[in-house]
Each structure stands twice: as structure tokens, then as C-alpha cells.
Amino acid sequence: MNSTELCFLSVSRLAKLIEGKDISPVDLVTAYLARIELLEPRLNSFITVLSEQALDEARKAEKEIAAGRYRGPLHGIPMTAKDLFLSKGVRTTLGTRIYDTRVPDEDSTLIARLKEAGAILIGKANLNPLAYGEIAEEGHFDYGHMHNPWDPSLVSGGSSGGSGSATAAGEVGFALGSDTGGSVRIPCALCGIVGLKPTYGRLSRRGMTTLSWSLDSPGPMTRTVEDNALVMNAIAGFDPKDASSADMPVPDYTKALTGDVKGLRIGMPKEFFEVPVDPTVKETVLRAIEEMRALGATVHEVTWPLYHYYESISTILLLVEGAAAYRELVCTKGSGLYEPLRMRLEAGLFVSAADYIQAQQSRVLFNRQCNELFTKVDLLVGPSTPITATKIGSSDITIGDTVMGVTALHTQYLSPFNITGLPSLTLPCGFSAGLPVGLQIVGRAFDEQTVLRAAHAYEKATDWHLRRPSL
């Protein structure tokens, strides 16, 4: 097996090789570092690469495993984290030069849990400045554009774009991202990998820099559904140091991966196809839904009229909560911020309290109507994004007679589930003109198991996850 093949193996497969001492963590880190060195001039997935630190950790892991102290399936697996998760002794920039030299003295809860599981942090991934926004409206991000491994002239998606491109390109085994309006799921959909935004409160946010207190969620980004379940096993659980953390039982997510969807009731909101969507993307997603029907699920059209109001709700919440999170920064160092970002943060300072309260009141009705759908079905399915990856610098896209901003298009199926807080997963379900198309699967609150179960069954029946970019 050559080093490229090694870098594209799933975490579950790598774990078996490491546990059986067929490969060592040192071999694996060395292979990933070589791939990062080869690809970074084209992809720009990383802000910081931790070559020596990762090799040191790999040597420690190798000794532990040789001594019979194998910690589990993440032991010795290289990973990256979006550069807004605090990392002890490693700069955490939030994608802005303002924080270029900031070095935390502690790890975020999720990075600490992954280290405890034996994972090796190989670098910190690039992102949109402060994780606010999805594309570069103009100019360049502070650490440069992130490029899609299927075509480096295209966006990898934001704001967790570096995490998505690094995982899809075989630069790491898996990644951590954060999702406020789709920022885990957009890069995963556009880069052809699996991304899960768990239920709000399922994963600790301590040490993950806040953009929107009521919308933010961390999430794992992997090449397979099983890998996603393995990472969730390591990071899920209550954190008393996080006020938003839910004290709920945590299952073994891998036990949900039965490969069977028989009896599951799948809801397909008709409103998902009343908004602009590329015809090829629509056809690809509908074929995927038919595949799930063929596997034994039942498919039902459902209606969610308030879906059409998601943008009004989300925009106000994000403007206000983003401005609250970064008010001091804007007032003291605003001139150093990426200009479109600064303008959004300043705009949030002028939204009235009455508008914010009204958005929260509308959110209650929006969530109630969505939750009512789950009295009739077990899951909601539809496209992850209505378009595939676009050219870097593109701001508007025409679909039929409609012209829309790229960010609005990329978030139209994803942002609603930040409002509701429900678990939402994207996985590849086909290609359009050589670019990945994502299928979104949404479940009830704290029912990530059923979401993963359905996604795994579909993945087993297809081969989309086995395709990889020819970099």
C-alpha cells in the first residue's frame, strides 16, 4: 500500500491496522505530513501545521500501543480542528491576523477529549475570519482562500472550509468544525464527505469561540459515516463547564450502524423543492431518496410552511448575537478585521431589541411546526445544498429565473436546523459535472443514532464515499 492509499483509508480501517501493529502512528503521521506538504500550495487548508509536535505524539502513541495500552479506535489517528478551538500551546487565530500570536494555555473540551482518546492534532485548519460568513465577498481572507480538492479553482465551502478540504483530500483522518448556519455541512457537501451537526447541547462548546450563542454547534467531519460515529463516541457527553451542555445519556453510536432502514418513515418537505435548486442536484437527491425507499424505508411528502421564514429568523439572531460576541473587538480593533465581516458585525449593533425578541418569538413557532413533523415521520431528508461548489470569488448564482447570493443558497437547507437545534447530517449521494452532491438527513432532538443509522445504510448501498479527488 502506497502512502496516498494509506491517507485515504477510513479511520475505522486505520484503527484496525494500528491495533494489529500492521502500521505505526509514526508511519501514518509521516504519510499525512508528506501529503500536506504536497497539497498545501494548492489547497491552503491549514493555518498552522504541527509537524514536530505530531511526530512526538505519534512516537508516544507507538510506545503506548507496543506496551499494550491501546486506547481505542482514535489512538494514533491524525486529525485537525478548525482554528477557533482552543489548543494548548498552539496559536488559535480565529482566522484573523488580530489573533495571529495568541497561544492558549488550555485545550477546548473537545480537543482534550480527542487527545484522551489518543488522536493526534496535526494542525489547525483555515476558516473564514471569526467563522462568520461562507464565501469571500471581496478581497482575500487573512490567511487566504480555501480551495476545493475536486477543483482548486472552486470554494471548499465555509466557514469550516479548511477542515472540509483537508479531510476530503486525505491530509488528515478526520476534522472538527463548527456550524452556525451550515458551516460543518456546507464544506462536507461541497467536498464530498460526511458532516454531522449534532443536537444543540450534545457536544461541549467550552473552548470553542462563540459566534452565535443560540445557533453554534461543533461537529465531526469524516470520510465515512462509521468514522463519524467513532468520533462522536469520543467527544459526546455532558460538560459542567459549558452552560449550553445537555446532561443527557450518551449511547454507543456505532451500535446504531445496523445497515438497515426497514420501517423508518422518511419525510420529504415539499417546501425544499419550492425554493431555487439546481435541476441536476434535485434529480440526484431524489434518486438517493428512492434508494432509501428501495432499502425498506417509507417516504412521505410533508409540509412545513414556516420553512420559508427561516432566513428572516436566522439573519436577526446571527446579526445580534454575533455583534454581542464581538462588540469590544469591533470597537477597539475593527480596522484590522476583514471588511465585509466588520460591516456585518457593525450592522448587528443597530438591530433593535424589539426585532430580536420578535425573531425569538417566531423561532418558537418555527420550531414547533418542525417538531410536529416528527409525529408523522422519523427523519427529514432533502438536499444539503441546492448547488455544487462555485468559483472562488463568485457572489451571485442564477438558477432558472432567480438570482441569489451564494451564501444564501448554500445555507437555505441547513440554517433551519441551527434554528431548531436538531441533529443534521450530510453525506455524498452523487456527482454533478464531476462535483459532489450532498444528501441531508435530519432527526429528532438527541436522536443522532437514527440519523447515523439511515446514513450508514445508504452509504453501504452506494459507492459515492469511495470516490476521491485526483490531486
The mean per-residue pLDDT over the stretch 134-147 comes to 84
Tens-place pLDDT, residues 412-427? 999 999 999 999 999 9
pLDDT (average), residues 140-154 = 95
Round the average pLDDT of the chain to a whole number and report it: 97
Rounded CA gap, 409 and 250, in Å? 34
User: Residue 12 pLDDT more than 90?
Assistant: yes
The Cα–Cα gap between 285 and 432 comes to 11
Is 159 known to be catalytic? yes
CA distance linking residue 301 with residue 266, whole number of Å: 8
For residue 126, what pLDDT is reported? 98
Q: Is 124 an annotated catalytic residue?
A: no
| Residue 159 pLDDT | 96
Q: Please give the domain boundaries of the chain with CATH numbers for all domains.
A: 3-466 (3.90.1300.10)
Catalytic residue among 159, 217, 245, 362: 159
pLDDT of residue 138 exceeding 70, the answer is no
Query: Residue 398 class from Cβ within 10 Å (0-12 exposed, 13-18 middle, 19+ buried)?
Result: exposed
pLDDT tens, 58-68? 999 999 999 99
Q: Please name the helix (run of DSSP H) or strand (run of DSSP E) that holds residue 15, with its range, or none.
A: helix 11-19
- 419 CB-near residues (< 8 Å, 6+ apart): 215, 310, 313, 314, 317, 363, 366, 367
Indicate if 82 belongs to the active site.
yes
Q: Sorting pLDDT into bands at 50, 70 and 90, what band is 257?
A: very high
349-353 contacts at long range (C-beta below 8 A, 24 or more positions apart) = 349/323, 351/316, 351/319, 351/320, 351/323
* CB-based burial, 407-436: b 16+ in 10 Å, e otherwise: bbbbbbbbbbbbbbbbbbbbbbbbbbeebb
According to the model, what pLDDT value does residue 133 have? 86
Least confident of 247-261, 346-360, 390-404: 390-404
Catalytic-role residue among 45, 163, 165, 183? 183
Catalytic site residue from 10, 24, 82, 160: 82
pLDDT at 139 over 80: no
Q: Is 290 helix (H, G, I), strand (E, B) or coil?
A: helix
**156-198 residue pLDDT tens:** 999 999 999 999 999 999 999 999 999 999 999 999 999 999 9
